[in-house]
Amino acid sequence: MALPPLVEPAAELSVDEIRRYSRHLIIPDVGMDGQKRLKNAKVLAVGAGGLGSPTLMYLAAAGVGTLGIIDFDTVDESNLQRQIIHGVSDVGTPKAESAARSIAEINPLVNVVIHNTALDRDNVKEIFSQYDLIVDGTDNFATRYMVNDAAVLLGKPYVWGSIYRFDGQASVFWEEHGPCYRCLYPEPPPPGMVPSCAEGGVLGVLCASIGSIQVNEAIKLITGIGEPLVGRLMVYDALEMEYRRIKVRKDPNCALCGENPTVTDLLEDYEDFCGAVSEEAQEAVTGSTITARELKEWQDSGKDVFLVDVREPAEWEINRIPGAVLIPKGEVLSGEALSRFPQDRQIVLHCKSGVRSAEALAALKAAGFKDAVHVQGGIVSWVNTVDPSLPSY
């Protein structure tokens, strides 16, 4: 689906700009008009890491007039394997500043705006409102959902990319013309189901493959040429050298852009929505986590298990694991319910997906219940792997 140009063209190109962008100017589909639109465009790169590196470098080389960079991290030696906008001399310096220096070497005609801060619900709308287009190179689900929600609420298009090991994905989300990220992924995966690149690794050159697709889509949107990946997901397998396109339809039941949206503003806590857990909880679950199948085996073998559901009463009414008792997480964290936990039985906690049970487990261990464990994936995993007859929600 062809779309109109995202921005109006600048008044003119200088002699220096004509010389620099001559290879664009002789392409009929780009020409003077397209290059003037690139000059007039304001693009924000969310992240100056693996995807942000090639994105920023090629957007700068292409002549995008204003490039914003938002990143609060500093360059680490482990970044250099894939984050090619940074070098050895940049280790320890803010990524946004390092990236800006590299951009100045690539194209001094570009105006670079540095946002050396963490993107959060308090600043995302104000920052996004300054730009025509957002390019998302983030590596965590909480920020991805926030970027999507802010873009939809502001009516901004954004180019999304994701990488892991040898696999990459890219798409364009623009609520006015197609689906949003929530149409593709209505809910984040359960905690621990999708390892981060820091946990699972990423082939460095994959960043260039997906980043170049993102830049290609940005140029198409700005200049109004070709057919952007609106309503399509590009999936890349570097090992098989295979690209696949998957059609993504706008979901009429989408919580954000559907016919009856339930999300009408930014969420209060995206970390909580995406199942992020505290450091204490992460430490507590290490070596104290079982699967839903292991729980079933314990029950079938007659093991004396004290199974505790730490969800809320309304969730308990929807479904429950046989043999469980309900003790909401809040009562565990407050200490109110600690007297209900036996010292001579195997304590097993669960919630919906494993987040709340991890937090409750940390509180129990701090109270002296050192042998307590929790169920990875919670009742979602139980339904998927043990008892699919139970209703899900």
Question: Which among 254, 257, 274, 351 is annotated as catalytic?
Answer: 351
Answer whether 131's CB lies under 8 Å from 42's CB.
Answer: yes
Of 5, 40, 54, give the one whose Cα is nearest residue 212: 54
Q: Rounded to whole angstroms, how far apart are CA atoms 302 and 316?
A: 24
Q: Rounded to whole angstroms, how far apart are CA atoms 310 and 357?
A: 6
3-state secondary structure at position 251? coil
Is residue 274 annotated as part of the catalytic site, yes or no? no
Answer whether 26's CB lies under 8 Å from 47's CB.
Answer: no
Write out the DSSP string of 339-379.
GGS-SSSEEEEE-SSSHHHHHHHHHHHHTT-TT-EEETTHH
**H-type alpha helices, 135-178:** 141-154
The torsion of the CA quartet 59, 106, 86, 198, rounded to 10 degrees, works out to 20
Question: Which among 180, 183, 197, 207 is annotated as catalytic?
Answer: 197
Report the Cα–Cα distance between both ends of the chain, in Å, rounded.
35
Sheet architecture: strand order including 289-290: 289-290, 373-375, 346-350, 305-309, 325-326
Answer whether 79's CB lies under 8 Å from 51's CB.
Answer: no
Answer whether 348's CB lies under 8 Å from 290's CB.
Answer: yes
Is residue 183 annotated as part of the catalytic site, yes or no? no
3-state secondary structure at position 66? strand
- Residues with a known catalytic role: 197, 351
